[in-house]
Amino acid sequence: MLEAIIQAFLVIFSPTNFGLLVLAVLGGLFLGAIPGLGGITGMTILLPFVFVLAPDSAIILLIGLLAVVTTSDTIPAVLFGVPGTSGAQATIMDGYPMSKNGEAGRALGAAYTSSMIGGLIGALALLFALPVLRPLVLSMGAPELFMVALFGLSMVGLLSGKTPLVGLMLGLFGVMISMIGQDPQTGAYKWTFGQAYLLDGLPLIPVILGVFAVPELIDVAVFRKAIAARGSVHDIGRDMIRGIKDALRHWFLVIRCSLIGVGTGIVPGLGSDVADWLAYGHVAQTIRDKEKLGKGDVRGVIGPESSSNAKVGGALIPTIAFGVPGSASMVVLLGALTMAGVVPGPEMVTRHLTLTVTMIWTLVIANIMGCLMLLLLGGYVARLCYVPTQILVPLILVVVFISALQGTVHFADLLVLFVFGIVGWSLRKANWPRAPLVLGVVLGPIVGRYLFISMQAYGLDWLTHPSVLVLGAALALIITYSVWYAFRNKNLVEMG
Amino acid sequence: MFGKIMVLLLILLFITGIVTSSEWPMAARRFLLVAAIPGLVLSLLYLLKITKITTRRTAPAESPFNAHNIQDTEGPSNGALLDIRELYVFLWILGFIALVWFLGVPMGSTLFAFLYLRLASGQSWLTTIIITLGVVAFVSGLLVQVFRLSLPPGLIQW
């Protein structure tokens, strides 16, 4: 383990990887500061680099970006009352009033510092989880891994908030989509329609970009957002030191809220917004003098910000150990790992242990780097909010197109992008979750492979393995709950 | 209504999947059945659920982050107009695909950026030209010349 820690440290500080990390952090800070974009859009655009770069470099790029998005999303939340991502919703409660009270710099200083500490605690949680997970994951055979993968698929229901049944349906449909192409085990052609393009299956990049990035771009293009009018960013540099001191003074609150974030991240389906609000609720419950809360109390900023950054480390735990992603961004990361030929599960704590530890180092360094950049360049970064998003639309669309074309470097990649763009947009219109569909496409081949191996090795006997029975019972419980929830909830009428 | 159409479409796709897979070897088909049959059952249950319900239609929970909350520089928005705008954006994307198909990525991207900025985004000539030149530098300069990124050629070779 110690060897892996040192090796990963050297990997991350190689000139190329460190340069990539700096770029990723800058990209993440930019995306976080502009509402409507965010980490998933950034990660999907970066997906093609997974093919070009070595797996460790690609992971550094993706996690580096994801780690700091929830740091800079505070800027529009505090200054304009508009969260950069859903993970900064609760920050508005006290951050925006502080800004109105002339304490924007203090709020941002406290937010950046607590975000950084939260991110570090998330990384530490991931590090300490590894020795615990290692024997557990290594004890699993193909049948158990098949059941865990199925369990992961069933968790898509939980990723779906109020519509677990819809999440399950879409997850299973995603699995069906993943079957397109030549079957790796039997060689049979499945829905290839005589097209050579489809023999290797649908390329993941245009699928993910279509489902996640295209609907966001349409949203940005349609609403013609202007986040702030010019001149509305006041001098925010002065009070930042005071905010840093605030965060350090309330160190115990930072730690508690960070642990809430880690816990929320481990449980699939609880997004950044949940972590954010849970932490805010914790602040409200535990502080004695509540009069100022909601009117500009710095503790109302510190709590949610520590939590939302710590969540990333927590969410990585089930993703890399079991292939069960805790959030939509982890679904994209899982897709990236798969494309890089890295299968989540036992290999992540054996063959790819260095890669796993590289993720931890990336979290640590990206969080520190992101915080320092924002503290030093705070005022300038805040001016990102002036950028008219109408200018960004064609630029991002060009990048999305070029990224999609890296799927197979075939013109048909753009058609896949367009079709899945319509699919993603339709799901959004119907208020259906998009992550389960993509998770199905990503996990489909893994589930299929484990089923094939289980059947070849054990016939039907594997169904009677005790661990399989336990996981099967859990699976049945989740499905039953999803159906029961749908029928019980009278208000859950047809969405959209 | 939209949700109902989506469920019906899913049901149709699951049934089509099950039927059309009948020619596959059993080892390949087994996995499809493991996914499609539960998918079909769950979709039917959901359809039953949404057709049965006659209670009032509830709006999705209001999120503090909602695109509508953000200042709209074009003035107040309404639902119908937005749908037309969405259609326009899709048409722009289709147009971009056609441009790439005909002209290849570097030229298609340049032309798309120029036209979108000028016509859809209503930017000034100066802004349009500066940003378009930025796109040329990024795509033709950085990606094609420096990184030697592989891109499919267009119908018309330049």
Q: What is the DSSP string of A246-296?
A: HHHHTHHHHHHHHHHHHHHHHSTT--HHHHHHHHHHHHHHH-S--TTTTSS
Q: What is the pLDDT of residue A495?
A: 43
Residue A12: Cβ-neighbour burial (10 angstroms; 0-12, 13-18, 19+): buried
The 3-state secondary structure of A296-360, one letter per residue? CCCHHHHHHHHHHHHHHHHHHHHHHHHCCCCCHHHHHHHHHHHHCCCCCCHHHHCCCHHHHHHHH
Contact A222 B17 (CB under 8 A): no
Look at residue B77 in the predicted model and tell me its pLDDT: 44
Contact criterion met (CB < 8 Å) for B3 and A165? no
Q: What is the pTM of this model?
A: 0.74
How far is the first Cα of chain A from the last one, in angstroms, to the nearest whole number? 50
Say how many CB pairs under 8 Å bridge A and B. 229
Q: Which residues of B touch A452 (CB under 8 A)?
A: 27, 31
- Which tokens sit at B117? 């900025």
CA distance A138 to A248: 40
Q: Is the Cβ of B119 closer than 8 Å to some Cβ of chain A?
A: no
Q: What's the pLDDT tens digit per position in B99-128?
A: 999 998 899 999 999 999 999 888 889 989
Q: Which burial class, exposed, middle or buried, applies to B66 when counting CB atoms under 10 A from its CB (0-12, 13-18, 19+)?
A: exposed
Length of chain B: 158
Contact B28/A at CB under 8 A: yes
- Is residue B1's pLDDT more than 70? yes
Helix, strand, coil percentages (3-state) for chain A, rounded to 5, are 75, 0, 25
Residues of A with CB below 8 A from B150's CB? 406, 409
Say how far apart CA B156 and CA B25 lie, in whole Å: 43
Query: Where is pLDDT greater, at B63 or B147?
Result: B147
Cβ burial of B56 (10 Å; 0-12, 13-18, 19+) is exposed
Q: Count the Cβ atoms, other than its own, within 10 Å of residue A380.
A: 12
| CA–CA dist A310, A367 (Å, integer) | 10
- Cα–Cα distance, A17 to A23 (Å, whole number): 10
| B58: amino acid identity, one letter | T
Pairwise CA distance, residues A203 & A335, whole Å: 11
What one-character DSSP code corresponds to residue B144? I
Contact A223 B89 (CB under 8 A): no
For residue B57, give the nearest of A82, A398, A493 by CB distance. Answer: A493
Determine the Cα–Cα distance for residues A126 and A26; give it in Å rounded to an integer: 24
Cα–Cα distance, A127 to A21 (Å, whole number):
20
A25-62 burial: b if 16+ Cβ within 10 Å, else e: bbbbbbbbbbbbbbbbbbbbbbbbbbeebebbbbbbbb
What pLDDT does A477 receive?
Answer: 84
CB-based contact, B11 to chain A, within 8 Å: no
Q: What is the DSSP letter of A172?
A: H
Q: Is B53 on the interface with A (CB under 8 A)?
A: yes
B149 touches chain A (CB under 8 A): yes
Q: Which amino acid is at A277?
A: W
Q: Do B67 and A36 touch (CB under 8 A)?
A: yes
Which residues touch A420 (CB under 8 Å, ≥6 apart)?
A206, A207, A209, A210, A211, A214
Q: Does B128 touch chain A (CB under 8 A)?
A: no
- Residues on chain B touching A394 (C-beta within 8 angstroms): 112-113, 116-117, 121, 131, 135
Neighbours of A170 (CB within 10 A): 31
Question: How far off is chain A from B137, nearest CA to CA, in Å?
Answer: 12
User: Residues A257, A126: contact at Cβ < 8 Å?
Assistant: no
Contacts of A92 in chain B (CB under 8 A): 64
B59 interface with A at CB cutoff 8 Å: no
Looking at beta carbons, which residues of chain A come within 8 Å of B42? 165, 168-169, 172, 479, 482-483
Q: How far apart are CA A169 and CA A191, in angstroms?
A: 20
Q: Can you read off the two tokens belonging to residue B50?
A: 């949404």
Dist. CA A413–CA A196, nearest whole Å: 13
Element at A190 (helix H, strand E): strand A189-190
- Find, in chain B, the residue whose alpha carbon is nearest to that of A189: B24
Q: Are strands A181-182 and A189-190 parallel, antiparallel or unpaired?
A: antiparallel
* Residue among A36, A179, A414 whose CB faces B100 most closely: A414
Distance from CA of A245 to the nearest CA of B (A): 29
Question: Could you tell me which chain B residue has the CA closest to the CA of A488?
Answer: B49
Contact (CB<8Å) B32/A183 = no
Q: How far apart are CA A416 and CA A195, in angstroms?
A: 14
Q: Which residues of chain A are within 8 Å of residue B35 when distances are taken between CB atoms?
A: 172, 175-176, 179, 444
> CA A4, A7, A10, A12 torsion: positive or negative?
negative
Q: Measure in Å the smallest separation between the Cα of B158 and chain A Cα atoms.
A: 17
Alpha carbon of B20: minimum distance to chain A alpha carbons (Å): 8
- Our CA-based measurement puts residue A349 at a distance from the nearest CA of chain B, in whole angstroms, of 28
* B66: helix, strand or coil: coil
Task: Give the integer Cα–Cα distance in Å for B52 and B104.
Answer: 51
Burial class of B59 by CB neighbour count within 10 A (0 to 12, 13 to 18, 19+): exposed
Residue type, A286: T
Q: What does the alpha-carbon distance between residue A325 and residue A159 come to, in Å, rounded to a whole number?
A: 9
Is the pLDDT at B133 greater than 80? The verdict is yes
What is d(CA A187, CA A192) in angstroms, rounded to the nearest whole number?
Answer: 12
Answer for the pair A76, A89: CB distance below 8 angstroms, yes or no: no
Determine, for residues A487 and B117 on separate chains, whether the beta-carbon distance falls below 8 Å: no
Q: Do B77 and A191 touch (CB under 8 A)?
A: no
B18 touches A: beta carbon within 8 Å? no
**CB-CB under 8 Å, A169 with B117:** no
Task: Compute the distance between CA of residue A327 and CA of residue A331 in angstroms, rounded to an integer.
Answer: 6
Q: Mean pLDDT, chain B, as a whole number?
A: 79
Which residues on neighbouring strands pair with residue A181, listed in sequence order?
A190
Pairwise CB contact (< 8 Å): A409 & B152: yes
Chain A contact for B33 (CB, 8 A cutoff) = no
Which residues of A fall within a CB distance of 8 Å from B92?
221
Q: Is B17 on the interface with A (CB under 8 A)?
A: yes
Instruction: State how far the Cα of A34 lies from the Cα of A216, in Å rounded to an integer.
Output: 12
**Among A304, A390, A389, A385, which Cα is nearest to A79's?**
A385
Nearest CA-CA partner of B82 in B68, B94, B92: B68
Residues 6 or more apart whose CB falls under 8 angstroms from that of A14 comprise: none
Give me the interface pTM, i.e. the ipTM: 0.83
Mark yes or no for CB contact A398/B13 under 8 Å. no
How many Cα atoms occupy the beta-carbon half-sphere of B150 within 13 Å? Answer: 11
Distance from C-alpha of B36 to C-alpha of A339, rounded to nearest angstrom: 25
Strand partners, A190: A181
* Assigned token pair, A250: 């309330």
Nearest-Cα distance to chain B for A270, in Å, is 15
Q: Which residues of A touch B138 (CB under 8 A)?
A: 398
pLDDT 10s per residue in chain A (496 long)?
Answer: 778 888 888 888 888 889 989 988 888 888 777 765 666 777 777 777 777 778 888 888 888 888 888 777 788 778 766 666 666 777 877 888 887 777 788 888 888 899 889 889 988 888 888 777 777 777 777 888 888 778 777 766 665 566 778 888 898 999 999 999 888 878 888 888 888 888 888 888 888 888 888 887 888 787 655 555 555 555 566 678 888 888 899 899 999 999 988 887 877 655 556 677 778 878 887 887 877 877 788 888 898 888 888 888 888 888 887 777 767 777 778 888 887 777 777 777 777 888 888 888 888 898 889 888 888 876 676 666 666 777 888 888 888 888 788 777 888 999 999 999 999 999 888 888 887 888 888 888 878 888 888 888 888 888 888 888 888 888 888 888 777 877 776 555 444 3
Residue B81: closest CA among chain A residues belongs to which residue?
A222
Q: Is A2 exposed, middle or buried (0-12, 13-18, 19+ CB in 10 A)?
A: exposed
| B25·A186 Cβ contact <8 A | yes
Report angle CA A390, A395, A397 to the nearest 5 degrees.
95
Asked if the C-beta of B151 comes within 8 angstroms of chain A's C-beta atoms, the answer is: yes
Alpha-carbon gap, residue A128 to A343, rounded angstroms: 21
Q: Are B4 and B47 in contact (CB under 8 A)?
A: yes
